[in-house]
């Protein structure tokens, strides 16, 4: 691939995904890269702590053993302004039947060599950690909370002193917790957050309810406004601000919201679920199941 080619002009058709290991890390929900070194990445395993590579995935090593009290990692983030600062939120937020819980938040200030525990032990399951793009001491945590029942340590938490103290800045009771966060890199005062009301029973996932929703703050999480056009899907939903356009944010809602997708100036785009027809499936011998594309909306802030 020629180095002189621009990002928009590069064809990715020839690239293929390949397994980079490690093969004993377990399933993974949390991955973050060093913004200044394209070969340095961290991942948080659901049962094996935090791992790091400095050679683009050729070799991985565990960097959390001896520091973490729990093994399940649900979220990880590297500070854009100082890649030595790494936050890890403990406990996977994909609350399967064999979900593993965590014990709050850990922080490293030396690229993962050592870690300090920052509290929030009772959050149990953390869906996302986001760090202010200009201040590594300001971070947000989306805490789903206990997987198996109501608890008060659910919602969105913020620290402005590197984790010494935390403030709950968004909450909707004891049944709904934080599942995702996105900070506008052009204007860090703009923060999007999603809450998910969910409880895992032994043979049942109770998902959705009045506590679920997507919220926006324009003052650094001091206050929030709910975007009421849609509700989360059965597994909550992700949200992301377009890094090149502060006026656009993306999220994936429930398929049930297809019928409630107004194009009213705030929700400016909607793509409904796409499904292959039976005729297309018959023509394609390799296709055994209908292919679907998740709904996507763009939000005009």
Give the tokens for residue 222: 């001091």
Q: Which long-range contacts (CB under 8 A, 24 or more apart) does 108-117 make?
A: 108/63, 108/84, 109/84, 109/85, 110/84, 111/52, 111/83, 111/84, 111/86, 112/42, 112/50, 112/52, 112/63, 112/64, 112/86, 113/63, 114/67, 115/64, 115/67, 115/68, 115/88, 116/163, 117/69
Question: 61-70, 208-217, 235-244: lowest mean pLDDT where?
Answer: 235-244
Interval 155-165: pLDDT, tens: 999 999 999 99
User: Is 12 inside any structural domain?
Assistant: no
Pairing of strands 41-45, 213-217: unpaired
* pLDDT score for 51: 95
Q: What is the CATH number of the domain that holds 190?
A: 2.130.10.10
Pairing of strands 61-62, 73-78: unpaired
Range of the domain at 204: 28-299
List beta partners, residue 194: 180, 214
Residue whose C-alpha is closest to residue 106's, from 210, 3, 30, 201: 30
Structural domain count of the chain:
1
**Whole-Å CA distances, 288 to 99, 160, 285:** 30, 51, 8
Model pTM score: 0.80
User: Is 11 inside any structural domain?
Assistant: no
User: Is 245 inside any structural domain?
Assistant: yes
User: Is 4 inside any structural domain?
Assistant: no
- Model confidence at 2: pLDDT above 90: no
Q: Where residue 96 falls among pLDDT bands split at 50, 70, 90?
A: confident
User: Is 260 inside any structural domain?
Assistant: yes
User: Is 10 inside any structural domain?
Assistant: no
Q: What are phi and psi of 37, to 5 degrees?
A: -135, 110
Q: Where residue 24 falls among pLDDT bands split at 50, 70, 90?
A: low
**When comparing pLDDT for 3 and 87, which is higher?**
87
User: Is 23 inside any structural domain?
Assistant: no
User: Is 136 inside any structural domain?
Assistant: yes
């Amino acid at each position: 691939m020629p180095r002189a080619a621009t990002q928009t002009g590069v064809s990715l058709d020839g690239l293929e995904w390949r397994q980079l290991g490690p093969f004993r890390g377990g399933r993974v929900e949390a991955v973050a890269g060093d913004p200044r070194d394209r070969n340095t990445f961290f991942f948080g395993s659901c049962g094996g702590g935090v791992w790091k590579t400095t050679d683009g995935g050729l070799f991985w090593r565990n960097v959390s053993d001896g520091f973490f009290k729990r093994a399940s990692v649900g979220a990880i983030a590297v500070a854009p302004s100082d890649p030595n600062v790494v936050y890890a939120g403990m406990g996977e937020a994909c609350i399967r039947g064999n979900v593993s819980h965590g014990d709050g938040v850990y922080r490293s200030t030396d690229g993962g060599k050592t870690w300090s525990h920052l509290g929030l032990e009772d959050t149990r399951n953390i869906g996302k950690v986001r760090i202010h793009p200009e201040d590594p001491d300001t971070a947000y945590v989306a805490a789903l909370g206990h997987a198996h029942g109501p608890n008060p340590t659910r919602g969105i938490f913020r620290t402005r002193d590197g984790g010494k103290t935390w403030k709950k800045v968004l909450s909707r009771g004891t049944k709904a917790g934080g599942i995702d966060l996105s900070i506008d890199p052009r204007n860090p005062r703009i923060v999007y957050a999603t809450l998910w009301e969910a409880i895992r029973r032994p043979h049942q996932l109770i998902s959705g309810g009045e506590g679920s929703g997507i919220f926006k703050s324009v003052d650094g999480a001091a206050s929030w406004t709910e975007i009421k056009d849609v509700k989360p899907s059965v597994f909550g939903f992700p949200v992301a601000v377009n890094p090149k356009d502060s006026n656009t944010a993306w999220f994936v809602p429930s398929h049930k919201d297809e019928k409630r997708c107004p194009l009213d100036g705030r929700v400016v785009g909607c793509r409904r679920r796409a499904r292959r027809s039976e005729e297309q499936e018959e023509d394609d011998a390799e296709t055994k199941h209908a292919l679907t594309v998740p709904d996507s909306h763009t939000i005009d802030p």
